[in-house]
Amino acid sequence: MSLMIRGATVVTHEESYSADVLCVDGRIQAIGQNLDVPAGCEILDGSGQYLMPGGIDPHTHMQLPFMGTVASDDFFTGTAAGLAGGTTSIIDFVIPNPQQSLLEAFHSWRGWAEKSASDYGFHVAITWWSEQVAEEMGELVAKHGVNSFKHFMAYKNAIMAADDTLVASFERCLQLGAVPTVHAENGELVYHLQQKLLAQGMTGPEAHPLSRPPQVEGEAASRAIRIAETLGTPVYLVHVSTREALDEITYARAKGQPVYGEVLPGHLLIDDSVYRHPDWSTAAGYVMSPPFRPREHQEALWRGLQSGNLHTTATDHCCFCADQKGAGRNDFSRIPNGTAGIEDRMAVLWDAGVNSGRLSMHEFVALTSTNTAKIFNLFPRKGAIRVGADADLVLWDPQGTRTISAKTHHQRVDFNIFEGRTVRGIPSHTISQGRLVWADGDLRAEAGAGRYLERPAYPSVFEVLSRRAEHQRPTPVER
Ligand code: URP
Ligand code: ZN
Ligand code: ZN
């Protein structure tokens, strides 16, 4: 199976140049000028377009059982929508129930994900703590290609990890060469504010952002970062939405601490006025955590991307239809938290970031693909255009336009947070494992074509950290 992309401008996180790219049997086999075309090779004309590494979305929740329902996009429909948007790999989350075996949960998620149309990996959430959890973390790393563990600092009485769990799990991550990641919101404060607001008669979606104000995220970000600092681990903060959290990341990084931040296009572009929409279902459609924020936070997040203090873009793709959101009609705290976005992430970031001059094309590639591949040890198999890398590519038409709508998107959900936004710069073609899976509006996703991505332990950051730890090893006083 071979495919040649002719005459495009190759754009990576560090350079751009004109070349033909030959993909054979799922890998990039040659890059160069006027390459010979093997017999039977399909040719794709890339002139006037950019050829970039396929997007990697490091934060999705396909068919997640959550808040009494199940996210409506499954591993096939969700990854297919991702391919339509130029995203060729996801890292989803295994979220065991408290007291559930991590391995048991992992195998359930592996089963559900077999129908994925694109490649996929898993972070595993630590929702409780015991010796068994510590052992199973070891087995997940050694035998199952997991190199990151997620900690929800929110969702009290459900999956929240308290400080003792954070400390034990971060320490275990260090032993295993795995990256601890956090959803940074102070779950105690959120719970307290939810009860208080409900008692005041605030039952609608407009209470959602009030129950999760920016300082609630800032406090948790600070706590997670300080725990990581004390133990000598890296830490990755998912869906950073506030200036407060970004300030914590920036401060820690300025002191040399390896802290990574992820941002969602929605948090860059949508403000909290959506929760006051007069139509309940529309307001509820935007309910996700952390919530959309006042405008000043958006400008701060853009500056975080520009300054290199935020590293990845994700979607937190977690779809719920209007009837599912309706579970919280009389109590905002019961509205299933989550919004969609896997199909729109890249085009929205290009339009709002590259077209506006906020980001270079190279930064765009780093933020949508390469940085995630590096942080989670998939590089250069993913996130790169080089000989031997997976042939996961997106051919980008910088002049193409699309008006985003739930009526036309491929995501299995009846709401789109970017409804009506017209973006310029769209994926004309997506190539997954060397196969054309999206071609000028024709989605050719195949259930089960996606492969499970084993991610080796010890991403490169651990090399620095282990030398640092060696240097700082405590020495007893000889008496
Ligand atoms: O609202 C959200 N983000 N739902 C999915 C779970 C999470 O917190 O990531
Ligand atoms: Zn979260
Ligand atoms: Zn999430």
pLDDT for residue 199: 98
pLDDT for residue 118: 99
Share of the chain above pLDDT 70, in %: 100
CA nearest ligand 1 atom 4, residue: 338
Instruction: Tell me, in angstroms, the distance from the centre of ligand 2 to residue 255's CA.
Output: 26
* Residue to mutate, 270, 337, 339, 342, ligand 1, most ligand atoms under 8 Å from C-beta: 337
Instruction: Tell me, in angstroms, the distance from the centre of ligand 2 to residue 185's CA.
Output: 9
Which of 121, 125, 124, 104 minimizes the C-alpha distance to 113?
A: 121
Instruction: Tell me, in angstroms, the distance from the centre of ligand 3 to residue 475's CA.
Output: 42
Average pLDDT across the chain, whole number:
98
Rounded distance between C-alpha atoms, residue 194 and residue 190, angstroms:
6
pLDDT for residue 95: 98
Q: How confident is the model at residue 80 (pLDDT cuts 50, 70, 90)?
A: very high
Rounded distance between C-alpha atoms, residue 268 and residue 258, angstroms:
23
What is the pLDDT averaged over residues 367-372?
Answer: 99
Q: Residue 3: enclosing H or E segment and its boundaries?
A: strand 2-11
Identify residues whose C-beta is under 5 A from ligand 3, the ion: 316
pLDDT for residue 252: 98
CA nearest ligand 1 atom 3, residue: 289
Per residue in 417-457, pLDDT (tens digit) is 999 999 999 999 999 999 999 999 999 999 999 999 999 99
The response to whether residue 123 sits with its C-beta less than 6 Å from ligand 1 reads no
The response to whether residue 60 sits with its C-beta less than 6 Å from ligand 1 reads no
Per residue in 90-108, pLDDT (tens digit) is 999 999 999 999 999 999 9
Per residue in 206-229, pLDDT (tens digit) is 999 999 999 999 999 999 999 999
What is the pLDDT averaged over residues 328-344?
Answer: 98
> Which atom belonging to ligand 1 lies closest to the Cα atom of 238?
9
The response to whether residue 61 sits with its C-beta less than 6 Å from ligand 1 reads yes
The response to whether residue 288 sits with its C-beta less than 6 Å from ligand 1 reads yes
Query: What tokens does 2 get?
Result: 């071979």
CA 130, 135, 136: angle at the middle one, nearest 5?
95
Query: What tokens does 470 get?
Result: 């060696």
Secondary structure string (H, E, C) spanning 368-412: HHHHHHHHCCCCCCCCCCCCCCECCEEEEEEEEEEECCCCCCCCC
Rounded distance between C-alpha atoms, residue 219 and residue 242, angstroms:
11
The response to whether residue 337 sits with its C-beta less than 6 Å from ligand 1 reads yes
